[in-house]
Amino acid sequence: MASLFQRRRNKATQVERVRERRHEGFLRYAGFRWAKISGGLCLLVIISYALIDVTPRHNGGSWYGYTLGTIGAALILWLTALGYRKRKMTSDHWSLKAWTSAHVYLGLGLIVVGTWHTGFQLGWNVHTLAWALMMLVILSGLYGVIVYATLPQALSNNREQMTQMQMLEAIRAFDRQLHTAAQPLTPEDTAPVLAALDEDPFAGGVVARLSGRYPDCATAAALRTLTLSRSSDSEAREKVVGLLRQKEAALARLRQHLRIRGLLEIWLYVHVPLTFALIAALSAHIISVFFYW
C-alpha cells in the first residue's frame, strides 16, 4: 500500500514539475483555472438574478439574497485565510501560488456576488458600509495584482544582482572613503561632506520612499556645494567630488530599490486593516439583519 501511495505521489510531483518547468505565474495558474471558476460563478449569478423572479423585488433579504450573502460571507472569510495559509508551513501538499490565484479571481468575483446580493439597494447604513469596505478591499487588492504583475521586473533590473545588504554596504564603503578623502579639505568644504556622512539612507518618510524624491538629500547638497567651491586643494576636492558622485549613484539605486519594494508592499497596509474593518462591519451587518428580522 505504502508503495502505491508513493508512486501516486511521484506521479503528482511529476505533473507538478512539468507545470513548474513552464513556470506559469499565479495569474496563469493551471490555465486560468480560477479565472474560469470565478467567471462562471459571476455569470451564474448575473443570469440567475435576471431569470429568478423575486417578489416584491430583488434585495438582500429574499431567499436569493440570503444565498448570495452566505456565499459572499463565506468567501470573505476564506479569502482572509490566505494570510494564515501563507505563514503556516504545514507539511501537506499545497501550493501558495494556487491559493493566491484563487484568492485573486474569487476576490474579484466577490464584486458580483456582493453587489448582486444588495439587489442594488444602497444607502447610508451599516449594510452599505460593509459593501463599501468590501469594494475598497477589492480595489486595493486590484492595485496589488497590478503591481505584482508589473513591478518585479523593474526591481530585478534595478538591483543588478546586488542584495539590499550589499547596497547598504556599498554606501558605507563610500562613506569610509569619503571620511579619509575629506581630511585635506577646508572647513567650509568639510561641513557638507560631514553632513552627507551623517545622512541616514532610510530617512525621508513614506512620501520620499514611495516617490523616490529626496529634495533634502545631504549627499546631493554636498555634491552641489563642492562642485562650485574653489576653496580647497583642487585635487583633493576632485577626489571627494568623484566619491560623492559614486555615493549618489549608490544611494539612487538603494532608493529606487526601496521605492519599488515600498510600492509592492504599501497596499497591504490598506488591504489588511480594511479586511478586518470589513469583517467587523460584516458581523454588524449580519447580526443586525437577524436582530431586526
Partner 1 sequence: MSEPVKVAIIGSGPAGLSAASRAGQLGLSHVLLEKTDHLSDTIFKYQKGKRVLATPERLDLRSDCRFAEGAREYILGNWDEDAANNKVHVAYHADVVEVTGAKGAFAIKTGKGDVFHAENIVLAIGTQGNPNRMRCEGADLPHIIYQVDDPEDFKDRHITVVGSGDAGIENALGVAEEALENTVTILNRSKDFARAKAKNVSDMMEAGENGLMSIRTETQPKKVETGWLTLETPDGDERIPCDVIVARLGSVAPRGFVESMGIEFTGPDREAFPKLSPTFESTVPGIFVIGALAGYPLIKHCMNQGYDVVEFINGNTGLTPADEKDLAAIFAGLPQKKSVSEWLEYLRTRVSIFADVSPLQMREFMLDSKVVFYRKGEVVFEKGEPGSSLFAIADGFAEVEVSPDFTVPIEQGSIFGEVGLISGRKRGATIRAGADGIFVEVSRTAALKLMASVPGAKRAINRISLERQLLQIFKGGLTVEDLGPVVDTAEVERVPAGKVVLTEGEQGDDVYVIRSGSMVVEKDIGGKPIFLRYLPAGSFFGEMGVLSGQPRNATVKAAVGSEVIKLTGESFRKMLAARPQVREATEAAVAERAQMNSFIESRKATYSSAVDLYSDTASFIMKEGLGEATDALLIDENLCVGCDNCEKACADSHEGLSRLDREAGKTFAHLHVPTSCRHCEHPHCMADCPPNVIHRGPDGEVFMEPGCIGCGNCMRNCPYGVIRMEAAPPQKPSLLRWLLTGFGPGPGEPSPKWTKKQLGDKKPKKIAVKCDMCKGISGGPACVRACPTGAAIRVSPEEFLSIARLDEDTD
- Binding site residues, partner 1, CB under 8 A: 9, 13, 16-17, 20-26, 29, 84, 86-97, 99-100, 148, 151-153, 155-156, 159-161, 163-165, 172-173, 176-177, 180, 261, 264
CA distances, 11 to each of 5, 6, 15, 141, 157 (Å): 10, 9, 6, 35, 37
Q: Which is nearer to partner 1, 151 or 277 (CB)?
A: 151
CB of 3: closest distance to partner 1 in angstroms? 9
Closer residue to partner 1 in complex, CB, 6/283: 6
Residues 6+ apart with CB under 8 A from 290: none
DSSP 62-126: SHHHHHHHHHHHHHHHHHHTHHHHHH---SSS--HHHHHHHHHHHHHHHHHHHHHHHTT---SSH
Q: Closer to partner 1 at the Cβ: 172 or 224?
A: 172
For partner 1, give the closer residue by CB, 121 or 177.
177
Q: Provide CB contacts within 8 A for 193, sequence distance 6+.
A: 178, 182, 185, 222, 226, 240, 244
Which of 217, 209, 208, 197 minimizes the C-alpha distance to 258?
209
Minimum CB separation of residue 149 from partner 1 in Å reads 9
CA–CA gap between residue 272 and residue 217 (Å, rounded) = 33
Q: How far apart are CA 69 and CA 158, in angstroms?
A: 45
Q: Which is nearer to partner 1, 177 or 225 (CB)?
A: 177
What minimum distance in Å lies between the beta carbon of 134 and partner 1? 22
| CB of 69 vs partner 1, minimal distance in Å | 27
By beta-carbon proximity to partner 1, the closer residue of 67 and 166 is: 166
C-alpha cell at 280: 467587523
Closest-CA residue to 148 (of 104, 85, 108, 199): 104
Least Cβ distance, residue 27 to partner 1 (angstroms)? 9
CB of 215 to partner 1, least distance (A): 27
Residue 224 exposure: Cα atoms within 13 Å on the Cβ side: 8
CB of 28 to partner 1, least distance (A): 8
231/283 with CB nearer partner 1? 283
